[in-house]
Amino acid sequence: MPLHDTHYQHWDGAHVGIWARRWVIARNGLAAALQNKAMRNVIALSWLAGLAMAALLFLVGQLLVADSMVVKWVAQLNPGLQSFARMLTSWLQDHPEISVGTTQNLLFYLFCVYATPLSIFALGMAMPALITRDLASNAMVIYASKAVTRGDYLLGKFCVAFGLLTLTWLGPVCGAWLVGNLLAPDWRFFWHARVALAHALLYVLSSMVILSALALGVSAVSSREKSTPALWFMWWVLGGVIQPIALQTKPWLRHLSFTYDLKQIGLASFRLGNDLKTAQDNIPIFGEMLRNIRPETMFALDHPMLGGALAGLALMLLLAGWVVVERVSPE
Amino acid sequence: MDNVTLQISSGSIGLLGPNGAGKTTFMKCLLQLLPITSGSARLLGREVGREGREIRKRVGYAPELNCHIPGMAGCEYVTYCAQLSGLPFQAARQRAHEMLDFVGLGQERYRKVDTYSTGLKQRVKLAQAIVHDPELVFLDEPTNGLDPKGQAQILELVRGLWRTYGITVVLSSHLLHDVERVCDQIIIIARGRVLVHDSLENLKARKRGAAEVVLARGHGELQAACEQRNWLCQMLPNGHLRIEHQADSLNPLLHVLHDLKLPPLEIIPSPNALEETFVQALEISHAAA
């Protein structure tokens, strides 16, 4: 084909701003991560979990309405239970802050904490699409020669990790809250469940920021596509393994596990101790059942190791930052 | 780089020097890919180091090493590079295809860059360097790994960038022929120092008045005639006579040979300043090695 069948043409349009260029980096990275079928499956699984959570909230909501489907179903199972269900329902209707607020706070704590491994797994799979592949193909030179700085590049890549966690974690949590309360028998559920949502957002968003930054650090460690996911999963598993051992020997070692530290942040965010005490003191029958919780568990729920967790995470973030600064350069 | 002071006007500039001379370092410093440890530099009227992002919006760079964004087809890659330089998506995609046409990349543009041959990679590197319509483009050894035909095509494209489209080109090469063919200003670098910076025209015109004469007979006569004229004449180990006639042309020497009725077998004029300085750069480099 002759070379000059098309002539060069000058371009005199307006340039887009720096945020648009950062967004291009983030969108491209996200698209690269989503090319992985397993990743798409993990996201689908996360949303299924969100759907299950919404269904659970729907069921809990039905318990608060006299003559609801659930109460009728209970009555069909055992007519003796119907009067108990009606008594509970009328009590719960009188104390919506406890019946809706406390219940949803507990449920969202469990949902957020148990959804964490799925998000960590997703980040592990996305590791090559963050920085690893760019290091392998010398793409840093290309980025550095364009109208973006290293900070812009890192912000874009951070958004890739954050975007993935939005799909696997924040999205399902918010979706479950919205759908669960939309299906509730009363619009006031939204109001009473606001604190549970605020706690969930505080925990999930802070965890997302921390995990995204840690993932960037790990993805910059090596230019080999298999090494960085392996390192990430190894760190995760090892953290889980040392937790019970460290408890017996050197408790501060537990803070080397980011999952343990995040759990402490979760406990501090959701303030489960307060909720349990409220439930113990106010909910008939179930409150009595909750009194069986062991004192040391109650103490752990009431006094999360927030200081140690923050110090441990700060150390990990510093290490991740150092790796990124050292590795992410055009040379 | 060692004590480099240069002021380069727009045009087509050849950065010539042996491998390891500092050509790539020079370009990377200007693009802020490497930190400038001392001194200062201005590019397109802006301070390098302070306005890097703005400078790079108006500058293109095709690196010597193979670099690309992994997992992308050629057209996606060039579009992405245009977007990174600030073009909106529609314009970026259109210009990407125009530039891929310009560099002669056909249907290969829909294949992943990872699968490209060296020649295709060089073309796509050139396309990504000019896709955002820069005012200045740095090309680092753009003909490396190409066959002679591919080299000629790329050099022709590069030559057209300045001569036809007015884009200033800084071409780094260790091949004198490449630079001679494309550039109108030459900077010769060796061991991080600039040996010469002048126009190609001046360098070619600047010759030392000397020549090597190959004779079948009459060496003594010619030597005597040279001494009469105070020309330095030296017998070389290969039997040639090296004569410094101190003139811009060979005419005075030809007159002497004519007067002596000595038909020369060959007259080899001294190399011009470009060739001489390039050889000097090579010698400096070899000596350092």
DSSP string for residues in B158-221? HHHHHHTT--EEEEEES-HHHHHHH-SEEEEEETTEEEEEEEHHHHHH-B-S-EEEE-SS-HHH
Whether the per-residue pLDDT at A4 is higher than 60: the answer is no
Confidence of residue A1 (pLDDT cuts 50, 70, 90): very low
Partners of residue A35 in chain B, C-beta under 8 Å = 71
Sheet hosting strand B232-235, strand order edge to edge: B232-235, B241-244, B211-214, B266-269
What are the tens digits of pLDDT across the range B79-122? 999 999 999 999 999 999 999 999 989 899 999 999 999 889 99
What per-residue string of b and e applies to A295-316 under the rule 16 or more CB within 10 Å gives b? eeebeebeebbeebbbebbeeb
Mean pLDDT (chain B, rounded): 88
Cα of A224 to nearest chain B Cα, Å: 13
Tracing tokens 């590049």 back to the chain, one arrives at: A153
Whether the per-residue pLDDT at B198 is higher than 50: the answer is yes
Q: What is the mean pLDDT of residues A127-154?
A: 92
From the list B54, B103, B133, which residue is nearest A10 (CB)?
B133
Environment class of A172 (CB within 10 Å of its CB; exposed 0-12, middle 13-18, buried 19+): buried
Whether the per-residue pLDDT at A166 is higher than 80: the answer is yes
Partners of residue B34 in chain A, C-beta under 8 Å = 330-331
Q: Is A224 on the interface with B (CB under 8 A)?
A: no
Name which of A327-331, B114-118, B221-225, B270-274 the model is least confident about: B270-274
Q: What is the mean pLDDT of residues A296-309?
A: 81
Confidence of residue A2 (pLDDT cuts 50, 70, 90): very low
What per-residue string of b and e applies to B118-140 under the rule 16 or more CB within 10 Å gives b? ebbbbbbbbbbbbbbbbebbbbb
Residues A221 and A231: beta-carbon distance below 8 Å: yes
Whether the per-residue pLDDT at A290 is higher than 70: the answer is no
Sign of CA dihedral B42, B43, B47, B48: negative
- pLDDT score, position A297: 76
Contact B104 A9 (CB under 8 A): no
The pLDDT > 90 percentage for chain A reads: 53
Q: What is the mean pLDDT of residues A242-255?
A: 84
Confidence of residue B161 (pLDDT cuts 50, 70, 90): very high
> What pTM value is reported for the model?
0.84
Alpha carbon distance B45, A85 (integer Å): 80
Grouping H, G, I as helix, E, B as strand and the rest as coil, residue B286 is helix
Partners of residue A141 in chain B, C-beta under 8 Å = 33, 63, 65, 67
Distances (CA, A) of B251 to B210, B214, B255, B262, B263: 12, 16, 6, 15, 14
- pLDDT score, position A331: 61
Q: How many residues does chain A have?
A: 331
Name which of A19-28, A117-126, A224-233, B43-52 the model is least confident about: B43-52
Cα of A225 to nearest chain B Cα, Å: 12
- pLDDT score, position B250: 84
User: Residues A130, A131, A136, CA angle at the centre, nearest 5°?
Assistant: 130
Mean pLDDT (chain A, rounded): 87
Alpha carbon distance A7, A98 (integer Å): 73
Q: What is the mean pLDDT of residues A239-246?
A: 86
Cα of A14 to nearest chain B Cα, Å: 7
Q: How many residues does chain B have?
A: 289
Partners of residue B127 in chain A, C-beta under 8 Å = none
- pLDDT score, position B25: 92
Domain boundaries, chain B: 12-204, 208-270
Name which residue leads in pLDDT, B37 or A293.
B37
Alpha carbon distance B40, B252 (integer Å): 49
Partners of residue B81 in chain A, C-beta under 8 Å = 142, 146
CA-nearest of A182, A138, A127 to A160 is A127
Cα of B288 to nearest chain A Cα, Å: 24
Partners of residue B134 in chain A, C-beta under 8 Å = none
Q: Assign domain B12-204 to a CATH class.
A: alpha beta
Alpha carbon distance A279, A289 (integer Å): 10
Contact B83 A24 (CB under 8 A): yes
- pLDDT score, position B206: 73
The question of ipTM being above 0.90 is answered as no
- pLDDT score, position B288: 67
- pLDDT score, position B88: 95
Mutate to test the interface with B, among A1, A3, A5 (most CBs of B within 10 A): A3
CA-nearest of B136, B113, B131 to B67 is B113
- Cβ–Cβ pairs < 8 A, chains A and B: 122
Mutate to test the interface with B, among A142, A152, A331 (most CBs of B within 10 A): A142
Contact A145 B34 (CB under 8 A): no
CA-nearest of A322, A319, A4 to B156 is A4
Partners of residue A134 in chain B, C-beta under 8 Å = 69-70
From the list A20, A134, A148, which residue is nearest B53 (CB)?
A148
- pLDDT score, position A3: 46
The pLDDT > 70 percentage for chain A reads: 92
Please name the helix (run of DSSP H) or strand (run of DSSP E) that holds residue B138, with its range, or none.
Answer: strand B136-140
In terms of phi and psi (left: phi > 0; alpha: psi -120 to 50; beta: otherwise), the region of B70 is beta
Whether the per-residue pLDDT at B277 is higher than 80: the answer is no
Environment class of B38 (CB within 10 Å of its CB; exposed 0-12, middle 13-18, buried 19+): exposed
Architecture of domain B208-270: 2-Layer Sandwich (3.30)
Contact B33 A6 (CB under 8 A): no
Whether the per-residue pLDDT at A143 is higher than 50: the answer is yes
Q: Is A18 on the interface with B (CB under 8 A)?
A: yes
Please name the helix (run of DSSP H) or strand (run of DSSP E) that holds residue A124, with its range, or none.
Answer: helix A103-127
Cα of A248 to nearest chain B Cα, Å: 47
Whether the per-residue pLDDT at A97 is higher than 70: the answer is yes
The pLDDT > 90 percentage for chain B reads: 45
Partners of residue B32 in chain A, C-beta under 8 Å = 144
Whether the per-residue pLDDT at A46 is higher than 50: the answer is yes
